[in-house]
Structure 1
Amino acid sequence: MKLLQLTDIHLTKPGDTIAGREPNENFRKALHHATRHHPDAEAVVITGDLSDWGDREDYLRLKTEIAACPLPVHLCIGNHDERDIFLSVFPECADENGFVQSLVPLSEGTAILLDSWGANSHAGFYCAKRQAWLDAQLSRLSGPIYLFMHHNPVPTGVAPMDQIMLQDADAFGQIISRHKDKIRHLFHGHCHLPLTGSFHGIPFSAPRGTNHAGWPDFDNERNLSASDLPESYAVAFCGPHSVMVHMVEYGYEGQIRREGSPDYAEWDRLTMVR
């Protein structure tokens, strides 16, 4: 089973740029690249920061773009979004409590999309109502389960970024730890960094994002740091006993060289391309 994760698309008014890059064009490129190279994927999940300023026009444009996508697209919201405005365009994404949370049936298990948005903050939140909803879903579902959310529940070690991580990480962690035998992987965004690790024994990963890139500036204690690294998305190969996640830097414009056979007998000092 194959899943695609796009994150931090930050749609803006067409023509407006972020870090010199046009988010709408980069999102279209990412979606085209992902679906062209992975038409067998079961789902595309976009893990938040759909709009840069939470403008309704951005969500309307997003709705048009994903309507033309040949694969099913599912949405989380992030700190740059506005929940009420998003739901005015995507009302079907609301759960019974009005949060942007949903279950996505897969051929092998279920994806659960979580809402870590909080008003007037870049940090993430997961309140008691959301906690109860998640606990109920995890209790009744059989595995494997794949969690998708915007905010990182684990500190990155970069001080400014860690100020805006999931604030309810301890309570969230207690819930998922009770069900960790069912949870195969957790996917998040928010940091604009390629990240991997584990949380209560559950592996997680995050790609860089489809527009502007971050940088792990461990010496900077005040500001978030940016770089000009390529735009990316993630491809997850999910098997019965494993998950392999690739970060595909589709924004890379350099040469791709096919050099060297995996057959050891063909490794020759004189003829190998190096």
Structure 2
Amino acid sequence: MKLIQITDIHLTTPGDTIGGRDPNANFERALTHALDHHPDAEAIIVTGDLSDWGEAEDYARLRTRLSDVEVPVHLCIGNHDDRETFLATFPELRDDAGFVQKVVPLSVGNAVLLDTWESGTHAGSYCDARAAWLDRTLAALDGPVWLFLHHNPVPMGMAAMDQIMLLDADRLGGVLERHREKIAHIFHGHCHLPLSGQFRGIPFSAPRGTNHAGWPDFGDTQVLAGCDLPEAYAVIQAHRPGDLMIHMVEYGYAGEIRREGSPDKAEWDRLTMVR
């Protein structure tokens, strides 16, 4: 199984930039790079912040762009999105309770996409209705389950970011603990930083994002910090249940790629190897 995780694309009105970068061009570059280098991917999952301001025009352009992508693309929504505006363009993604949640069957297990959006806040929410849906869904599935959501469920240790994490993490955690043996990994976005850790004993990870990058400023308690690190997406590989490899591909890197030497130790040479 190979999946591509793209996150925090922040589409804008054409010509508008964020941090001096063009989110529309950078998403196009990410998508093109992923499709060129990983045509064998089973699916591309975009974990939220599809639009920077939750605008209908952004979703319309996104739908048009995805219409001719041969690899299936699945969407979560994030805090910069607007659920009803998004669903007006993607009505087939509305579940029975009005949320953007679904199950994606894969060659190794199933991906479960969650909706952590909440009106009027950048923080994430996972209410009783969504938690009940997830409980029923996990009860009906065999493992492994790969969970995808926008908001981070574990504090980052940075005050400003911790104000806008998934505030209902305990409710989500309670559901996951009941099905712990089925859940192989959690993938999230939101933070614009490469992260890894555990939530209720379940490993999680996040890549950087396709436009502006975050910066781990642990001292600033008031504002979020950004920087000019390369844009990135994640490649997720699972050859069998229990084995997982995740790459963060910095497709925005513009420097030299060196061919440093053979993996055959017998061919290593102090004079010829790149150092």
Q: TM-score range by the shorter chain?
A: over 0.9
Q: Counterpart of 2:21 in structure 1: which amino acid? A: R
CA distance in structure 2 between the aligned counterparts of 1:36 and 1:80, rounded to whole angstroms = 29
Letter in 1 for 2:164: I
> For the residues of structure 2 that align with 1:219 and 1:70, how far apart are their CA atoms?
45
Within-5 A mapping of 1:119-198:
119-198=119-198
Query: SS of the residue aligned with 2:87?
Result: helix
Query: Offset of 1:239 from its aligned partner?
Result: 2.5
Displacement after TM superposition at 1:265 (Å): 1.1
Cα distance in 2 for partners of 1:155, 1:232 equals: 22
Deviation at 1:31, TM superposition (A): 0.2
Query: Which digits, 9 at most, give the CA deviation of each residue in 1:229-262, with x for residues without a partner?
Result: 0000000001222111111000000011110211
Per-residue CA shift, 1:201-250, capped at 9, x if unaligned? 11110000000000000011100000000000000001222111111000
Distance in 2, Cα, partners of 1:28 & 1:125? 30
- 2:164 is paired with a residue of what secondary structure? coil
Aligned to 1:99: 99
How far is 1:185 from its partner? Answer: 0.8
1:4-153 to structure 2, matched below 5 A, reads 4-153=4-153
Number of residue pairs the alignment of both structures matches: 274
C-alpha deviation, 1:118, in angstroms: 0.3
Q: TM-score, normalised by structure 1?
A: 0.99
Query: Which residue of the partner structure matches residue 214 of structure 1?
Result: 214
Identify the residue that residue 255 of structure 1 maps to in structure 2: 256
Unaligned stretches of 5+ residues in structure 2: none
SS at match of 2:181: coil
- Looking at structure 1, the residues matched to 92 and 49 of structure 2 have their Cα atoms a distance apart, in angstroms, of 18
SS of equivalent to 1:31 = helix
Secondary structure class of the residue paired with 2:180: coil
Q: Deviating runs (4+, > 4 A) in structure 1?
A: none
Distance in 1 (CA, whole Å) between partners of 2:272 and 2:251 is 30
Give the residue type in structure 2 aligned to 1:27: F
| Distance in 1 between residues matched to 2:193 and 2:233, nearest whole Å | 11
SS of residue matched to 1:181: helix
Which whole-Å CA distance do the structure 1 matches of 2:80 and 2:272 have between them?
52
Structure 2 counterpart of 1:272, one-letter code? M
Q: Pick which of 236-245 and 26-35 moved more.
A: 236-245
2-side partners of 1:196 and 1:239: how far apart?
Answer: 20
Tell me how far apart the structure 1 counterparts of residues 30 and 66 of structure 2 sit (CA, whole Å): 12
1:243 maps to what in 2? Answer: 244
Using the alignment, how far apart are the partners of 1:72 and 1:59 within structure 2?
17
Report the alpha carbon displacement of residue 96 of structure 1 after superposing the two structures with TM.
0.6
| Distance in structure 1 (CA, Å) of the matches to 2:115 and 2:138 | 15
Deviations 1:158-177 (A, max 9, x none): 11001100000011111111
| Superposition TM-score, scaled by structure 2 size | 0.98
Secondary structure class of the residue paired with 1:28 = helix
Quick check: 1:267 aligned with 2:268?
Answer: yes
- Aligned residues: percent identity? 66
For structure 1, the 5+ residue unaligned runs are: none
CA distance in 1, matches of 2:25, 2:210: 10
Cα deviation, residue 271, structure 1: 2.0
